[in-house]
Structure 1
């Protein structure tokens, strides 16, 4: 079956595939962007309480037609609530992982409102978001946490982030060019539509795409688009996107691992309204007494600081091994493997790494594999890194083949 066919096989052939690729390119232009700054790990999801509330009866549609519906959607205004949860299977390090990930932004000149550190919290647990979008250059997303609230607002060229708990503000300017904007940290996927767009970029001849029935999300009828790797060796089991039947906007995104169990990433609306949000939604003035940090004033981490000493120094040499869902990123840290206990300031640090990772050997020598339910990484003793949404065995084979 062609990867873009629906179950009734109504569309086949290379012409079909070319049409689908064109549809994906067009879809990228219609994505409703939300001004949320963070890191790629901060993917988000939907709690189990948001199970489908029904299977509405809708006209038949093919997978190609459904992807084209997403691409042709012109809905650029919406507001609503999103419930989120993620389960990457990360070990409990007693706060060590959040301290490490946020360390880059919390120096003497840093800010607790800096999204690079704040939104890493979305990488685990359950959260509630309030979202509003009026155009590609105007959006707001707020993370609600008991009595506290953290918001990121984009209004034209200005991007503001505010942490009510610490009363700190972080301000930056949006990139001028679209090319630069696509690479900006504030464009981390944060809504079902953005997550769906990222998934559609991965659709190629190594992927099966079908229509898998219907569902109702946030009171709206939708079609379920099922995306599955054809290749073995990927840790991705399947991705399901519920697409609003009327507007073509993705309402829910679910990624399940090949190993089974609960979803790794599950994102969906509990409430959604496609009316124009009030203009005042995107107004922001730093509260009285708040500490304001400008983006260019934030202190960058010095080379060699922290647990990741040397790890990022060789990223310029990054290359990709394999194709499709079995792609593996390879880069060299410059001969620096994992830090020893003495280098980290703790005699027990090496022992901790041994507990968290699995020791492996091969033609490449020896190294340690660190695993989650989705992404695995092999760090060799001579400082090479192999990472991807693939199994441990696939990483070892890639390292051996690179010799």
Structure 2
């Protein structure tokens, strides 16, 4: 189809499973609703080689996504992520210390396992039967990791280590209410978007006057006819070039999500179904019994263990080593981030309590482990401005400026935009 040049503002236990207590975990249940303002009303036009579908406007296509009531599906998703990060090397061990078996954690803990989706190419098998039954399985070379929700019961199982993680949704709800009763912001549901739909809804939720939304042709995805919805920033300075969402022409389910960087090159995120079936999955997809000999971590104790050990992974930063826990404790008083700018150029400013900052170069600080110094120096560029001196840590999507005086600026903006924003805020 030819481009549309209209733009817009937009189960139980079994065997001899060994149980341990650990931290509460909230499995992804729902993603925020789709929001869009005035969408271009010029319909997409058919062209040779693409599925010949009825004309549709961007407004109508977004309404189709929002109105989709498809709650039963199964299939295979291929997701590739390239943030442009250097190899972690030995640094990975620095982050994982204190979170392994016998140290208050589990290799099956979803908080740690699903972060693997932040880089490389992965294959997922997914299944859903309404809002209370979902399964996501991460397929690995010689093992499989599965995250299963069946009503209030949540299980995660790592076949490679024969470890399981168990939690209940009721415990998560109690934690949510407890935070509100003590006058603290309730913690948001912890989620890692693993489907094109979840990714698409997060982008469309943010659509506003700084966004162009158009229909730009059709495609064939996993054997299904689809329209292509293209979302682009109207502002310069964003690291996001465009987001393309292939939407099932029949039921409005996003089938593929592609985020291209403004700097060019291959996609930062490319996630799409290679196989999809919209019939009801078998009930057995959502049941789980730990195999004999599985080490089971229960969800209520790991958080206590993590709290006792201090913030995980912060040992790589100055002031957060084995002797820097008193500074880490100060993070409990961190202020809510201040948002500077709007739309795609919005930057979050965070003030670290006590003015804890990074040295001008990580390699100048003896408290930083060698692997961390190499990693941080590979990522960072020293910069100066009205804010003083700092280091910009770069990826292809998110950039972070950490200053020596304890200010942190984060956004999906170019390093130059980030520095200019910090200057304006100083």
- TM-score by structure 1 length? 0.83
What does residue 338 of structure 1 align with? Answer: 358
Question: Could you tell me whether the CA contact under 8 Å between 1:104 and 1:117 is conserved in 2?
Answer: no
CA–CA separation in structure 2 for the residues paired with 1:59 and 1:102: 51
Answer yes or no: is 1:231 the counterpart of 2:231: no
Select the structure with the greater relative contact order (CA < 8 A; seq sep ≥ 6): 2
Question: Could you tell me whether the CA contact under 8 Å between 2:72 and 2:128 is conserved in 1?
Answer: yes
Q: How far does residue 65 in structure 1 lie from its aligned partner after superposition?
A: 0.1
Q: How far does residue 356 in structure 1 lie from its aligned partner after superposition?
A: 2.7
Question: Could you tell me whether the CA contact under 8 Å between 2:154 and 2:166 is conserved in 1?
Answer: yes
What does residue 394 of structure 1 align with? Answer: 417
Q: How far does residue 313 in structure 1 lie from its aligned partner after superposition?
A: 4.5
What does residue 50 of structure 1 align with? Answer: none
Q: How far does residue 303 in structure 1 lie from its aligned partner after superposition?
A: 3.5
Answer yes or no: is 1:59 the counterpart of 2:63: no
CA–CA separation in structure 1 for the residues paired with 2:175 and 2:65: 21
Question: Could you tell me whether the CA contact under 8 Å between 1:360 and 1:367 is conserved in 2?
Answer: yes
Answer yes or no: is 1:183 the counterpart of 2:188: yes
Where does the alignment leave 5 or more consecutive residues of structure 2 unmatched?
11-25, 30-48, 178-185, 321-327
Residues 229 and 177 of structure 1: is their aligned pair in 2 closer, same or farther, counting only changes over 3 Å?
farther
Task: Write the deviation string for residues 223-249 of structure 1: whole angstroms up to 9, x where unpaired.
Answer: 000000000000000000000000100
Answer yes or no: is 1:326 the counterpart of 2:345: yes
User: Which one is further off, 300-309 or 271-280?
Assistant: 300-309
1:295 to 289, 299, 305: 299
What does residue 72 of structure 2 align with? Answer: 77
Query: RMSD of aligned C-alpha atoms?
Result: 2.6
Map residues 155-170 of structure 1 onto 2, 5 A cutoff.
Answer: 155-170=150-165
Q: How far does residue 93 in structure 1 lie from its aligned partner after superposition?
A: 2.5
CA–CA separation in structure 2 for the residues paired with 1:8 and 1:345: 52
Question: Could you tell me whether the CA contact under 8 Å between 2:86 and 2:378 is conserved in 1?
Answer: no
Question: Could you tell me whether the CA contact under 8 Å between 1:36 and 1:153 is conserved in 2?
Answer: no
Q: How far does residue 169 in structure 1 lie from its aligned partner after superposition?
A: 0.5
Residues 399 and 274 of structure 1: is their aligned pair in 2 closer, same or farther, counting only changes over 3 Å?
same
Question: Could you tell me whether the CA contact under 8 Å between 1:167 and 1:291 is conserved in 2?
Answer: yes
What does residue 51 of structure 1 align with? Answer: none
Task: Write the deviation string for residues 112-170 of structure 1: whole angstroms up to 9, x where unpaired.
Answer: 10011111111111111000000111100000012200000011111111000000011
SS of residue in 2 equivalent to 1:231: coil
Question: Could you tell me whether the CA contact under 8 Å between 2:86 and 2:375 is conserved in 1?
Answer: no
Question: Could you tell me whether the CA contact under 8 Å between 2:225 and 2:248 is conserved in 1?
Answer: yes
Q: Tell me how many residue pairs correspond in the alignment.
A: 359
Map residues 213-228 of structure 1 onto 2, 5 A cutoff.
Answer: 213-228=217-232
CA–CA separation in structure 1 for the residues paired with 2:422 and 2:292: 55
Task: Write the deviation string for residues 291-333 of structure 1: whole angstroms up to 9, x where unpaired.
Answer: 1111111121534651243495454331111110001111012
Question: Could you tell me whether the CA contact under 8 Å between 1:212 and 1:226 is conserved in 2?
Answer: yes
Larger Rg, first or second structure (1 or 2) = 2
Residues 321 and 177 of structure 1: is their aligned pair in 2 closer, same or farther, counting only changes over 3 Å?
farther
Question: Could you tell me whether the CA contact under 8 Å between 1:36 and 1:141 is conserved in 2?
Answer: no
Question: Could you tell me whether the CA contact under 8 Å between 1:159 and 1:173 is conserved in 2?
Answer: yes
CA–CA separation in structure 1 for the residues paired with 2:342 and 2:98: 32
